[in-house]
Structure 1
Amino acid sequence: MKPWILGLTGGIGSGKSAVAQHFIEHGVHLVDADQAARWVVEPGRPALQQIAEHFGSEVLLADGQLNRPALRARVFADGHERRWLEALLHPLIRQEITAYLARAESPYAILVSPLLVESGQHELTQRILVVDAPERLRIARTMQRDQTTAEQVQAILQAQASREERLRYADDVLVNDRDLDWLRGEVERLHNFYLSLSGGQP
């Protein structure tokens, strides 16, 4: 039986990493799209070579690793360059994710992605769980976690899909506005529900 795929997403500061961790504790196979995005640009992978050829050596560090801040500065300043990079990376990231999910041995597997909706990665899933929290709380959590300003967090919020858009795709919504014990209980409840589903559908 091939496991069905649950997409797990949520805006910055919603607590999706904590939720993902609780699912892992229940033995659920999980792949993180952010990690896949890092794997595809490791030294020795073709994507890194293409990026260096396109943007020049200033996007590489002395040890041959990708200089993320330099690349980010280039692509955020120029929509055309950003689209070039996305066209290169999105299919490769999708391949990594698909290969990793194919190795899952749990009854269902999870794809965690902050950009599940925006990147089209939701097409790889049979069901979507959105972790949500009031914006005020999300901003406070992120400022505390990243030692950053409210303005910087606001800028990231603007770049992500709107909360309404994410919720439109949701099959399940977990409002994470209480403590960790409560959250652990909610994940357990969802996990037991997911084990009863076939192909992600009741």
Structure 2
Amino acid sequence: MPLIAITGGIGAGKSTVLEYFKALGAEVLDADQIVHSLYEPGQPAYQEMLSRWGDKILDAGRAIDRKAVAAKVFAAAHELSWLNGLLHPLVKQAISAAGARTNNLLYCAIPLLYEVGWDAGFAAVIAVWCDRNTQLLRLRSRHWSEVEINQRLSQQLSMNEKLSRSDYGLINTCSLAMLNQQCTHLHRHLQSMFALPQTD
């Protein structure tokens, strides 16, 4: 069945959009959540990260401390490259497996879709967009420092660039009700385009 990518800058509202599509009866997948599952003890990625960085990346319960990992990879480009090389094939494998299991539209939230060159593997791409000031307000509400915010933004294309490259755009500077309405209209359009039965 068609795989639909959802992308956008950090803080754009991709997770909210994913929840709206799920409520409409679609299958959904979040690349960030896949990564989080790969961090769990017993997973191959967990062991690889522990071998490379040692106990300093573990919390008191010996789970991967994502903030400690972020501090390492955003401070050294070669460490980020190594981590991406470890995780990206596993994430792609999980997405492909999920697509093979469903007969429905599958929406996949992938923040760095264009940055890693995965867009060609999807039937359509949706960009979630908000303006820069709104984005910064949302990121600061997560209690991130300006350094942390700038480190993450430096690894991403701009919101405008992502929107210009995508097949569809969802504008998330309005009310949640209006965002939900946009998702509903787009979902119905995609169901019609791919000749799928209405699920909402």
After TM superposition, the score normalised by the length of structure 2 is 0.87
- The root-mean-square deviation of aligned C-alpha atoms, in Å, is 2.2
Task: Give how far 1:37 is off.
Answer: 0.7
Give the aligned partner of residue 131 of structure 2: 134
Give the aligned partner of residue 112 of structure 1: 109
Task: Give how far 1:117 is off.
Answer: 1.3
1:196 counterpart = 2:192: yes
Aligned residues: 196
Task: Give how far 1:150 is off.
Answer: 5.6
Give the aligned partner of residue 68 of structure 1: 66
Q: What are the within-5 Å matches in structure 2 for residues 22-41 of structure 1? A: 22-41=20-39
| Structure 2 unaligned blocks of 5 or more | none
Alpha-carbon distance between aligned partners in 2 of 1:73 and 1:149, rounded to the nearest angstrom: 12
Q: Percent identity?
A: 33
Task: Give how far 1:75 is off.
Answer: 2.0
Task: Give how far 1:132 is off.
Answer: 0.8
Identify the range of structure 1 (74-83 vs 124-133) with the bigger mean alpha-carbon deviation. 74-83
| Structure 1 unaligned blocks of 5 or more | none
Tell me, yes or no, if the aligned pair for 2:129 and 2:172 is still in contact at 8 Å: yes
After TM superposition, the score normalised by the length of structure 1 is 0.86
Alpha-carbon distance between aligned partners in 1 of 2:74 and 2:166, rounded to the nearest angstrom: 29
CA offsets per residue over residues 97-151 of structure 1, 9 Å max, x none? 2222322232x1101111121123323311001011111122223323x134566
Task: Give 2:41's aligned amino acid.
Answer: P
Tell me, yes or no, if the aligned pair for 1:117 and 1:166 is still in contact at 8 Å: yes
Give the aligned partner of residue 157 of structure 2: 161
How has the CA–CA distance of structure 1 residues 101 and 64 changed in structure 2, closer, same or farther, with 3 Å as cutoff?
A: farther
Alpha-carbon distance between aligned partners in 2 of 1:118 and 1:20, rounded to the nearest angstrom: 20
Task: Give how far 1:56 is off.
Answer: 2.1
What is the aligned counterpart of 1:187 among 165, 183, 188?
183
Task: Give 1:159's aligned amino acid.
Answer: Q
How has the CA–CA distance of structure 1 residues 58 and 152 changed in structure 2, closer, same or farther, with 3 Å as cutoff?
A: closer
